[in-house]
Amino acid sequence: MPAGDTAPAPAAPVRVVVLASGSGSTLQALLDSPDRGVLWQVVAVGSDKPGVTALDRAARAGVETFTVAPADFADRPAWDVALAAEVARHEPGLVVLAGFMRILGTPLVDAFAGRMVNTHPALLPSFPGAHGVRDALAHGVKVTGCTVHLVDAGVDTGPILDQAAVRVLPDDDEATLHERIKTAERELLTHVVSRLAHDLTHPERTAPR
């Protein structure tokens, strides 16, 4: 480095808001990642259901939590607006859906277009929708897996960011197969979040893919 020059200040971790509806096992993988606090930081965890385990996991990790329950609003559009406003209040660079079991409305999708990611337990575009594991088994595939994709206005139709394959075993049922897919899903999601955070904080180093 030439004399008199100073090294650039390290980029602040990207702010991440996670949305979850259930036990939060995928959220836990993010909370346990060594990249948390370095490349990105979970600043809030939200849910559509009060009292779910995901919120407890966040609270134990010292992360702020919030609930935006549809039952508290007059109609679906009002809930969509409220959820988008609550997420935006935390000023995230990325929004991560970690087992969030509701289709998102236009206010949130538009506000974070290109910065909101979701996981799906199949190799999209095969077996989209709520029963990806069951549908893969019914179709008789020998390999399925998981996908991390950007969220758009469709259902599991956003651009694919990465995928991991999981072999279907002869004695698999929906529960055993889904458990192995979730293990792969957690690793894949943390990898993708770290990669996106790096790209956001170091755009000059982002190589074309």
Give the catalytic positions in this structure. Answer: 120
Helices vs. strands in the chain: H and E counts, helices first: 6, 7
The phi and psi torsions of 94 (rounded to 5 degrees) equal -135, 145
**Got the DSSP string for 133-163?**
HHHHHHHT-SEEEEEEEE--SSSS-SPEEEE
The enclosing H or E element of 57 equals: helix 53-60
What distances in angstroms separate CA 83 from CA 67, 105, 171, one per listed residue? 9, 9, 41
Query: Does residue 125 have a cis peptide bond before it, meaning omega lies within 30 degrees of 0?
Result: yes
46 closest CA partner among 65, 29, 27, 33: 65
Neighbours of 12 (CB within 10 A): 10
For residues 39 and 119, the answer to whether their CB atoms sit within 8 Å is no
